[in-house]
Amino acid sequence: MSLLRAETVAKHYQTYSLVGASASRMALDGVSLSIGEGETVGLLGRSGCGKSTLARLLCGLEQPGQGQVFYRNHDLRHLTRAQRRAFRRDVQMVFQDSVSAVDPRFDMRAIIAEPLRHLTDLDARAREARIRELLEMVELPAGIAGMLPSQVSGGQLQRVCIARALAPRPKLIILDEAVSDLDVHLQASAIALLAKLQESEGIGYLFVTHDLRLVERFAERVVVMDEGRVVEEVPTGSLAALTHPASLLLKDAVLPPLPERRAAAQ
Ligand SMILES: Nc1ncnc2c1ncn2[C@@H]1O[C@H](COP(=O)(O)OP(=O)(O)OP(=O)(O)O)[C@@H](O)[C@H]1O
Ligand code: NI
């Protein structure tokens, strides 16, 4: 049974011009995607193809215009209270822009404590212990707990967002370009951290990116979208099988400009 499944979801946005004319833009055009428990899926495609829209539908932040999203075979629109709480716990999301994803008035402790308050039965003491444990998991010093978002670096704040996502012991974390803004070194260590957590906690990820290299290491399956549709889907071991033009663009972006290729072109 899938943990999370989108079935032929469609979503269009109404856009308005200055003169008041409205147009409809199809962000998702009949997309189906199923994610099993503990599974890691890379979701790729060029800018504007609908990745973030699909990510938001999957975690219930937005409703599809057509189609349905299912959590453990239950339609998200008809969850019981208990199922909704389980869904909120099991499926977490980390966004690209960690600064706007946190309240600037909250310190790191309060940021991480929030899901613990709402989604677990831990008392204050147990919450504090869990926060210490989470900071350790994301390799941040315990002393950071009392700092405000303005007092930590972008990379540290992103790790705090990952800690917050891990806090309620989710089954799946949807990472929407979550490491894209980090410098190369921090990106590599964030990926290593996510891969480690995948092993130790059995967490699965939906890893949204336009960088094929980032998913190659730890996704089992790569799904490529283009213009609001899923155009290809292959196991990570078979990337050579990708043939759609949108997939080839992703593959091309990975190839380094080899000196001999440049020489051959001259
Ligand atoms: N809130 C919104 N209002 C209007 N149009 C939107 C909205 N969100 C997304 N869109 C449009 O829907 C389409 C898909 O956007 P989406 O953000 O899902 O793409 P994406 O694949 O995540 O792109 P990127 O890689 O740049 O993040 C785009 O054409 C975008 O302009
Ligand atoms: Ni996006």
Ligand 1 contacts CB of residue 40 (under 6 A): no
Kindly list the domain boundaries of the chain, sorted by start residue.
Answer: 2-100+171-257
Q: What is the pLDDT of residue 254?
A: 65
Tens digits of residue pLDDT in 119-129: 999 999 999 99
Spatial separation of the C-alpha atoms in residues 40 and 150, rounded to whole Å: 32
Q: How sure is the predictor about 258, in pLDDT bands with cuts at 50, 70 and 90?
A: low
pLDDT at 180: 82
ipTM over 0.95: yes
Ligand 1 binding pocket mutation candidate from 13, 177, 209, 215 (most atoms within 8 A of CB): 13
Q: Report percent pLDDT > 90 for the chain.
A: 69
Q: Could you tell me if the CB of 47 is within 6 A of ligand 1?
A: yes
Stretch 144-163: mean pLDDT: 94
Mean of pLDDT over the chain: 91
pLDDT band at 17 (very low <50, low <70, confident <90, very high): confident
Please tell me the distance between residue 11's alpha carbon and the centre of ligand 2 in angstroms.
15
Sheet with 172-176, edge to edge strand ranges:
91-94, 172-176, 204-208, 41-44, 221-226, 229-235
Would the pTM of this model clear 0.80, i.e. be above it? yes
Q: Is 13 in the pocket of ligand 1 (CB under 6 A)?
A: yes
Query: What is the crossing angle of helices 154-166 and 184-201, to 10°?
Result: 10
Let me know: does 193 contact 139? Beta carbons within 8 Å: yes
Predicted local distance difference test score (pLDDT) of residue 106:
97
| pLDDT, tens digit (0-9, with 9 covering 90-100), for 76-102 | 999 999 999 999 999 999 988 888 889
- Of 9, 52, 211, the one to substitute when testing ligand 1's pocket (max ligand atoms within 8 A of C-beta) is 52
Say what the pLDDT of residue 94 is. Answer: 94
Summarize pLDDT for 51-63 with one digit per residue, the tens: 999 999 999 999 9
Which of 22, 43, 51, 226 best tests ligand 1's pocket when mutated (most atoms within 8 Å of CB)? 51
Shortest-distance Cα residue to atom 17 of ligand 1: 52
| Residue whose pair of structure tokens reads 């921090």 in the numeric block | 186
Residue 263 confidence class, pLDDT cut points 50, 70, 90: low
pLDDT value, residue 70: 98
| Residue 54 alpha carbon to ligand 2 centre in Å | 9
> Using CA atoms, how far apart are residues 84 and 8, in angstroms rounded to an integer?
22
- 2-100+171-257 classified as CATH 3.40.50.2300: no
Predicted confidence at residue 186, as pLDDT, reads 80
Going by pLDDT thresholds of 50, 70 and 90, the confidence category of residue 67 is very high
pLDDT at 256: 57
Ramachandran angles phi, psi of 25, nearest 5°? -115, 125
Neighbours of 242 (CB within 10 A): 19
pLDDT in tens, 168-221: 999 999 999 988 877 888 888 888 888 888 988 899 999 999 888 888 878 999
For residue 160, CA distances in Å to 125, 191, 218 come to 20, 15, 21
Tens-digit pLDDT profile for residues 222-248: 999 999 999 999 999 888 899 999 998
Which residue's C-alpha comes closest to atom 2 of ligand 1? 13
Q: What is the mean pLDDT of residues 111-139?
A: 95
Taking the CA of 16 as reference, the closest ligand is 1
Q: Is 210 in the pocket of ligand 1 (CB under 6 A)?
A: yes
